[in-house]
Amino acid sequence: MLDELRRITHNFVQEPNLDLALASLVSDIKFCLNTDCCSIYLADPDQKLLRLKATDGLNPDAVGQTIMRFDEGLTGWVAERGEPIKVHNALQHIRFKQFPTIEEDTYSGFLGVPIMHRRKILGVISLQQSESRYFEQQEEAFLVTLSAQLASTFANVTLRLRSEPDELNPQSALVLQGVSGARGVGIGHSYLVQTNIEFSDVSLKKVGSAEPEKARYFNAVENTRADIIEMTKRMANQLPKDALAIFDVYQQLLEAASLGNEVVDKIEQGWCAVSALKIVVEKYIAEFEKMDDPYIRERAVDVKDLSRRLLEHLTAKAHRELSIPKSAIIIAEEVTASMLAEIPRDQISGIVSIKGAENSHAAIMARALGIPAVIGLRDVPILQLDDIELIVDGYNGTVFITPNEAIVDEYRKLESEDKAFADLLKKESNEFAQTQCGRRISMYINSGMGFEGDIAEQLHIEGIGLYRTEYLFMMRQRFPSEQEQQSFYQEVLGDFEGKPVVMRTLDVGGDKQLPYFPIVEDNPFLGWRGIRLTLDHSEIFLVQIRAMIKANILTNNLHIMLPMVSDIGEIEEASRLIKQAHREVEKEMQEADAGAHVHKPKIGVMIEVPSMIFQLSKLKGKIDFCSIGTNDLTQYLLAVDRNNDKVASLYDAYHPTVLTAIKMIADETKKIGIPCSVCGELAGDPGGAMLLTGMGFDRLSMNTQNILRVKWVLKKAPFKILETLVDDVLQCTRPDQVKFRVNRTILNIGAAGILRAGN
Ligand code: PEP
Ligand code: MG
């Protein structure tokens, strides 16, 4: 069975033309399950319509022509119920409906299985049999497995259809759905920044002319040969001779007589170089893996490794030689800080990150930089997004592929409305944030990707509420030295002289990786993150603290904040190390006779791991302040990985549980007299800021892009109304109920502008 499944899915994904792929799929299924007819219908879930797209057994002329509603016929019933349906005599069934064009009245047995993706129905696979037949359990299970395996490929049918828009809904063929990473509209040309391309990223493609493709392939072979020679030299002293022989095997595999001729043959049949390589390599791997001889089976690994190197030369490396487009839409499997740093900010119009979700760090970076972003376009073959025109709709989380003029015009209009609203916010904002009744809220910024001194001045912010020091570490090829860190921190503290700057100690792990210190774990968000890592490496922690303390000598505005604390012991240990670093710096200054006063920084913690909520009373006397990291607190309270787009819809800081926890923290910290702010993304969301204000928080920290939006909304909101809103939402059981109540309040206070798409 497994082999059959593999063969059928393999045939399907290998075929670049969707109609042919579907035609081969129905024939394969029909043959494999020994039935008289197999058909596939694709759905438009919004309009609740199904269209016959392929059949082996019904009237072929009906393909593309027959459309049925979900409430029509047995096939419609499968879509409507979202589950398999078996009927042994379809013609007698109450839901049977005659569609004359498809000529199915000779069939009696029926099995229909829905194709589901992210709770949406994408289509139906149906089997029919002339005589009355009750399809077996195993047959049903086989079809369900096949449908589940193919679902993500079907979800990307839109991409493959881009040259032949779907007549059911002409615009849907051009749109990909992810989640919103950062507000705004980006119109531009895509630029793939990618390091690790896998063959699963490659969708097969034919091209007009073979010669340039052959030249690309030969070029890649030469570059790969050079890499192998280089590797052989490097490893010569480290590996025994027989192990080095593997590099000879690699060189032989690159010979024309091995992979080479077959790849060239495929190119001559019209395939592009990347597709040709994929076809040949996958065939070889499948053959090797089938062998009984374990030695030969092992060779599949070598073919995989070698072909990945070839692929890299054919894609990313070749790409780097292309110049970056003027309005670049950055495309990457996972966008990182260093990728963004390599491209001038004014050349980036948008970001598309295949992996991630709303509060992944890629999204947080995009928001901080004010670059429209769509995140989590799962299952999209990334190479298909390269080098084409795109619109990134950061409001709705959609990406338009090669949009037509009408769509571009519409988005240009949205862009200018956006600009007009931004001007209005500037005009109408008060200097300082306060509610309509005059209750002051201190506004701080989240920073880390650069200096925001000027912006801070213009926005009248009162300091930095969260400085993410990890970006400084992520932009380098090694840990920054104490001296490098000191001068960096000194500049930030100097820019904000007279105002508090909360510097968070290194918070890597999870989805924040250092290129020179990779952490590979099964559950990275439950693993070696933040303070756990730095306490294990006091040499990294102490260097950072010493650099901060030295940088603070002139300005005395440093606050140190510890991330990912889950246990009071961690605070005690970190405080001991901070004291040690302080003593060391004091001694150093005395020895240098510098006469400088070495200030003791205030120490605080992030409240972002639920265990801390139940230990707040024990924090008294141990810390000077705390700040709620709603991004992680939401993830840990709801057990939803903030970086996993499969569960993105469950991640919601408006969840009543999250809000109840935040309210508990507000009340408890007030009771014990520890100042508490909020620096997670909820604070920068206008509705979130209203809720937090209503809970009694008077310090909010957010990215600079959100300051005016939050000030504008708060200015219209009387505190009493916000307090009532909080009482009301804490009674809710679902996030959508909370959202509804928040939005209703926004309308009632006359701040509807903030809710419109484009704002
Ligand atoms: C948070 O978790 O809310 C937070 C501010 O930290 P980060 O997003 O960097 O994990
Ligand atoms: Mg966090």
How far, in Å, from the CA of 509 to the mean position of ligand 1? Answer: 12
Q: Where are the alpha helices (DSSP H) in 176-240?
A: 210-235
Residue linked to tokens 């104490």? 482
Contact 613, 662 (CB under 8 A): no
> Looking at residue 226, what is its pLDDT?
86
Q: Is the pLDDT of residue 318 over 70?
A: no
Most informative mutation of 360, 364, 566, 638 for ligand 1 (most atoms within 8 A of CB): 364
Bridge partner residues of 729 (DSSP): none
Nearest-CA neighbor of 42 among 53, 34, 32, 31?
53
User: At 110, is the secondary structure helix, strand, or coil?
Assistant: strand
Cα(127)–Cα(442) distance, integer angstroms: 65
What are 466's two structure tokens? 């969260």
Q: Which helix (H) or strand (E) holds 733?
A: none
Cα(205)–Cα(270) distance, integer angstroms: 9
What are 610's two structure tokens? 């639920």
> Looking at residue 156, what is its pLDDT?
64
Q: Is the pLDDT of residue 183 over 90?
A: yes
What are 157's two structure tokens? 């049918």
The CA distances from residue 8 to 25, 111, 189, 278, in Å, are: 7, 19, 36, 17
End-to-end CA distance of the chain: 53
Read off the pLDDT of residues 626-668 as tens digits, 9 standing for 90 and up.
999 999 999 999 999 999 988 999 999 999 999 999 999 999 9
Contact 547, 482 (CB under 8 A): yes
Summarize the confidence of residues 555-559 as an average pLDDT: 98
679 catalytic per annotation? yes
Q: Mean pLDDT score of the chain, rounded to an integer?
A: 89
Read off the pLDDT of residues 320-332 as tens digits, 9 standing for 90 and up.
545 788 999 999 9
Q: Is the CB of 680 under 6 A from ligand 1?
A: yes
Q: Is the CB of 608 under 6 A from ligand 1?
A: yes
> Looking at residue 194, what is its pLDDT?
67
What are 196's two structure tokens? 């690790």
The CA distances from residue 194 to 69, 399, 438, 511, in Å, are: 42, 19, 50, 17
Q: Is the CB of 630 under 6 A from ligand 1?
A: yes
Cα(271)–Cα(266) distance, integer angstroms: 6
| Domains of the chain with bracketed CATH | 2-162 (3.30.450.40), 174-193+322-426 (3.50.30.10), 199-314 (1.10.274.10), 440-709 (3.20.20.60)
**Which residues, at least 6 apart from 291, have a Cβ–Cβ distance to it below 8 Å?**
297
Q: Is the CB of 631 under 6 A from ligand 1?
A: yes
> Looking at residue 161, what is its pLDDT?
45
Cα(582)–Cα(597) distance, integer angstroms: 11
What are 400's two structure tokens? 């338009």
Q: Is the CB of 490 under 6 A from ligand 1?
A: no
**For ligand 1, what atom is nearest to the CA of residue 530?**
10
Cα-only R_g, the chain: 30
Choosing from 32, 626, 676, 679, which is the catalytic residue? 679
Tell me whether strands 49-56 and 67-69 are parallel, antiparallel or unpaired.
antiparallel
SS (H, E, C) 265-288: HHHHCCECHHHHHHHHHHHHHHHH
Helices vs. strands in the chain: H and E counts, helices first: 26, 22
Summarize the confidence of residues 566-574 as an average pLDDT: 98
From edge to edge, which strands make up the β-sheet containing 348-353? 175-177, 398-401, 389-393, 185-192, 328-332, 348-353, 373-375, 179-182
Nearest-CA neighbor of 512 among 561, 444, 572, 448?
448
How far, in Å, from the CA of 107 to the mean position of ligand 2? Answer: 59
How far, in Å, from the CA of 563 to the mean position of ligand 2? Answer: 7
Q: Is the CB of 312 under 6 A from ligand 1?
A: no
> Looking at residue 157, what is its pLDDT?
59
How far, in Å, from the CA of 661 to the mean position of ligand 1? Answer: 16
Lowest mean pLDDT among 172-181, 415-424, 451-460: 451-460
Q: Side-chain half-sphere of 236: how many Cα atoms within 13 Å?
A: 6
The CA distances from residue 36 to 104, 108, 467, 517, in Å, are: 11, 10, 66, 58
Read off the pLDDT of residues 655-707 as tens digits, 9 standing for 90 and up.
999 999 999 999 999 999 999 999 999 999 999 999 999 999 999 999 999 99
Nearest-CA neighbor of 178 among 42, 349, 356?
356
Read off the pLDDT of residues 113-171 as tens digits, 9 standing for 90 and up.
999 988 889 999 999 999 877 888 999 999 999 999 888 777 765 454 443 444 444 44
How far, in Å, from the CA of 265 to the mean position of ligand 2? Answer: 52
Q: Is the CB of 510 under 6 A from ligand 1?
A: no
Reported pTM: 0.82
> Looking at residue 170, what is its pLDDT?
46
> Looking at residue 171, what is its pLDDT?
46
Cα(260)–Cα(277) distance, integer angstroms: 9
Nearest-CA neighbor of 546 among 585, 506, 496, 490?
585
Most informative mutation of 449, 468, 692, 700 for ligand 1 (most atoms within 8 A of CB): 468
Q: Is the pLDDT of residue 172 over 90?
A: no
Choosing from 313, 361, 559, 655, which is the catalytic residue? 361
Q: Is the pLDDT of residue 16 over 70?
A: no
> What angle do the packed helices 137-155 and 18-32 form, to 10 degrees?
170
Cα maximum dimension of the chain: 100
Bridge partner residues of 509 (DSSP): 512
